[in-house]
Amino acid sequence: MTPGDTAGSRDAASAEDEARRLDETDPLPTLRGEFLVPPAPGGSHPEAAYFAGNSLGLQPRSVAGLLREELEDWARLAVEGHTRARRPWVDYHELLREPAARLVGALPHEVVAMNSLTVNLHLMMATFYRPAGDRTRIVIEDSAFPSDSYAVASQAVHHGLDPARTVVRLRPRPGEEHLRTEDVLRFLEREGPTVALLMLGGVNYLTGQLMDMPAITQAGRAAGAAVGWDLAHAAGNVPLRLHDWDVDFAAWCSYKYLNGGPGAVAGCFVHERHVRDASLPRLAGWWGTDPSVRFRMEPQIAPPASADAWQLSNPPILALAPVLASLRIFDRVGMDALRARSGRLTGYLASRLAAVRGAETITPADPAARGSQLSLRVTDAGGLVRRLAERHGVVADAREPDVIRLAPVPLYCTFHDCHRAAEALADLAPGAA
């Protein structure tokens, strides 16, 4: 071993000790013990350092018990479980309403757990995208998740419009990675009379940029557009105040930061000024009629004055149970406390990654402009992610061709996890010595 190796080993040990000290003294200790953390790939550590919670969250330990109870009630009661189960199925989704409302800063009657994210976006656009005259355009960000791009393009076609002319994709300035809020506001001020719908991602899936949702919502509504948000990477990641921000609608998935399981039932928000308007056009189904008259089986729908009016079918109980388990954790801890811990974890990881050669961080440096995610531009992103897992037990994900994403989720990630990730990247990144 050379003298340099000795110094390097000493530095790494000192950094590890510091990470462990931060874990021991953090104001909000990790809730890692409440989740099932997979073993490290390759057997390098007992547990993975899991940074892919922005793709699929870990399973809460309480999920198995809730699912077992539903299966037992199904076996014991069969159809009677709709009214006699421990948590009666006929109104099971009501159990999620208030914790979901607190999670996104809404009134309880403004939220509903239903469907999947893109289905909910289509249901919202069926109501709120009403092109007329010169006001036909849909505005998204250029780096929107592909499903959003496909959804808005198909909505344009559905209305007999050309997506190439109808869908506007806002791009960062040349040489920059992120949309500037002032550029979005300037566009809306200039082009507002042509915009029917503004629908951006609250946190960009690729760069991790947190958009200024209050300012952009205010500008969009002032321009006369309907304003909706895709909160796939924001719900459970950053505090939200959808009601106070005067958002028209929003939708989110529950399998990322919300730990609801693969393909989990999603959530939807509709502002109360809309839920009381029965004249709004909407696609309808049985579960969107008022529960007090639902079982009269009448041909005319009687929508309730709540987001439930956008429901189509009775909810899948076995899929809702994991979401309920996770929402209970969020409700107990609170988003403000999680946001503070997220800032400490992400800030620590960012400071460690700054010294890694060959990896350029493209997530905003300002902690107020990002959530629990750091995106790095590297060569051979997919290969690097595989090597991180196999050699160091660090689980991240790649977005081809050249971005890897690490999400230090505050519920279960630790400072020691961040230390492991930084050491692994220093060892494996393309610019490593």
| 314 marked as binding residue | yes
| 286 marked as binding residue | yes
**Alpha-carbon span 66 to 80, nearest angstrom:** 18
| 117 marked as binding residue | yes
**Alpha-carbon span 369 to 266, nearest angstrom:** 25
| 233 marked as binding residue | yes
195 CB contacts (<8 Å, ≥6 apart)? Answer: 135, 137, 138, 139, 168, 188, 220, 223, 224, 225
Contact between 85 and 72 under an 8 Å Cβ cutoff? The reply is no
Contact between 288 and 310 under an 8 Å Cβ cutoff? The reply is yes
| 56 marked as binding residue | no
| 287 marked as binding residue | no
| 118 marked as binding residue | yes
| 249 marked as binding residue | no
**Alpha-carbon span 11 to 72, nearest angstrom:** 54
- Low-confidence residues of the chain: pLDDT under 70: 1-10, 431-433
Burial class (CB in 10 A: 0-12, 13-18, 19+), 279: exposed
| 54 marked as binding residue | no
| 146 marked as binding residue | yes
- Give how far Cα 315 sits from Cα of 66, 126, 199, 258, Å: 16, 21, 26, 18
What proportions of the chain, in percent to the nearest 5, are helix, strand and coil? 45, 15, 40
pLDDT of residue 7: 46
pLDDT of residue 419: 97
Dihedral angle, C-alpha 243, 246, 247, 249, nearest 10 °: 60
Contact between 245 and 211 under an 8 Å Cβ cutoff? The reply is no
Residue 164 C-beta-side C-alpha neighbours within 13 Å: 0
Contact between 425 and 419 under an 8 Å Cβ cutoff? The reply is no
pLDDT of residue 268: 98
pLDDT of residue 432: 59
Q: What is the DSSP letter of 272?
A: H
Which domains are delineated in the chain? Answer: 3-60+335-428 (3.90.1150.10), 67-332 (3.40.640.10)
**Alpha-carbon span 111 to 122, nearest angstrom:** 16
pLDDT of residue 12: 73
pLDDT of residue 6: 47
pLDDT of residue 429: 79
Q: What is the pTM of this model?
A: 0.95
